[in-house]
């Protein structure tokens, strides 16, 4: 039998096929770097989704939308802020509008939910934020402690009244009380862990201040 030995050049070609060239390796590393960078961006966005900045923006956005809705529909719109009995570790935002245009609600027949508003996990309403958190001063009586209603009039004014923190989000009805018109009201937002304020989140705070006369919202966060 005749056995043909591979030439030196053939053996070299075989060996070269078993590996990658430097250019191929660099191309693979570049693609992996791009993919990992994109994944890192996604994870960063997800982890900061409940940051004080985003929560303040979300609450202020709901207040501004409710005010615009009241003006556009020539009716009254209530925004409920704070915890409810079904969500001890969530900050609840609910928006309700007057069906008959009245400035107070006496039953679910006179007010209904305007739209589905967001909830923010591990936040609560607070009237005593970290003292080093700098923002414009609001009077003590105009910083709700546990929960509050803000009622927007067709003129865009923001009337504020206290709310029960034990209300049910399922059967919630805006109050009949028209509330008070303060120069500025502050919705203080304090981060929590399982509903409790601990040292690691003590300084994770935000505030939304609402002008009573014009309904303007200002955001402050760190």
Comparing 108 with 204, the larger pLDDT belongs to 204
Comparing 24 with 18, the larger pLDDT belongs to 24
Look at residue 103 in the predicted model and tell me its pLDDT: 75
What is the tens place of the pLDDT at every residue in 57-107?
999 999 999 999 999 999 999 999 999 888 888 999 999 998 887 777 766
Look at residue 168 in the predicted model and tell me its pLDDT: 85
In the predicted structure, residue 44 carries a pLDDT above the cut 50: no
Give bridge partners of residue 209 from the DSSP assignment: 186, 218
Distance CA 62, CA 117 (A): 7
In the predicted structure, residue 160 carries a pLDDT above the cut 50: yes
Look at residue 164 in the predicted model and tell me its pLDDT: 84
Look at residue 1 in the predicted model and tell me its pLDDT: 47
Those residues whose C-beta lies under 8 Å from the C-beta of residue 26, and which sit 6 or more positions away, are none
Token pair recorded at residue 90: 């969530």
In the predicted structure, residue 183 carries a pLDDT above the cut 70: yes
Distance CA 191, CA 54 (A): 12
Q: Among residues 92, 99, 144, 97, which one has the least CA distance to residue 122?
A: 92
Comparing 110 with 162, the larger pLDDT belongs to 162
pLDDT class for 5, splitting at 50, 70, 90? Answer: low
Comparing 207 with 167, the larger pLDDT belongs to 207
Look at residue 88 in the predicted model and tell me its pLDDT: 80
Long-range contacts, 25-29 (Cβ 8 Å, 24+): none
Distance CA 38, CA 32 (A): 10
Comparing 7 with 118, the larger pLDDT belongs to 118
Comparing 185 with 164, the larger pLDDT belongs to 185
Would the pTM of this model clear 0.85, i.e. be above it?
no
Look at residue 72 in the predicted model and tell me its pLDDT: 95
Distance CA 132, CA 105 (A): 39
Calculate the alpha carbon distances from 168 to 12, 37, 94, 116 in Å.
78, 43, 11, 15
Distance CA 179, CA 167 (A): 18
pLDDT class for 37, splitting at 50, 70, 90? Answer: low
What is the tens place of the pLDDT at every residue in 140-151?
999 999 899 999
In the predicted structure, residue 221 carries a pLDDT above the cut 80: yes
Question: ∠ CA(169), CA(192), CA(47), 5° rounding?
Answer: 95
In the predicted structure, residue 41 carries a pLDDT above the cut 60: no
């Amino acid at each position: 039998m005749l056995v043909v030995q591979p030439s030196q050049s053939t053996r070299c070609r075989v060996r070269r096929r078993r590996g990658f060239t430097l250019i191929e390796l660099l191309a693979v590393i570049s693609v992996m770097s791009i993919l990992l960078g994109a994944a890192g961006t996604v994870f960063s966005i997800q982890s900061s989704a409940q940051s004080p900045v985003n929560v303040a923006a979300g609450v202020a956005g709901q207040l501004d939308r409710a005010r615009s809705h009241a003006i556009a529909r020539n009716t009254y719109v209530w925004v409920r802020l704070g915890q409810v009995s079904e969500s001890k570790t969530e900050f609840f935002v609910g928006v309700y509008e007057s069906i008959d245009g009245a400035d107070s609600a006496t039953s679910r027949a006179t007010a209904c939910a305007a739209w589905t508003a967001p909830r923010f996990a591990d936040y609560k309403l607070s009237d005593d934020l970290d003292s080093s958190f700098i923002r414009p001063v609001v009077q003590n009586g105009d910083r709700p402690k546990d929960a509050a209603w803000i009622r927007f009039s067709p003129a865009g004014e923001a009337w504020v009244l206290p709310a029960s923190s034990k209300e049910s989000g399922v059967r919630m009805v805006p109050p009949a009380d028209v509330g008070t018109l303060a120069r500025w009201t502050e919705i203080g937002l304090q981060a929590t862990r399982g509903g409790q304020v601990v040292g690691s989140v003590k300084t994770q705070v935000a505030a939304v201040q609402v002008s009573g006369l014009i309904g303007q919202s200002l955001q402050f966060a760190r």
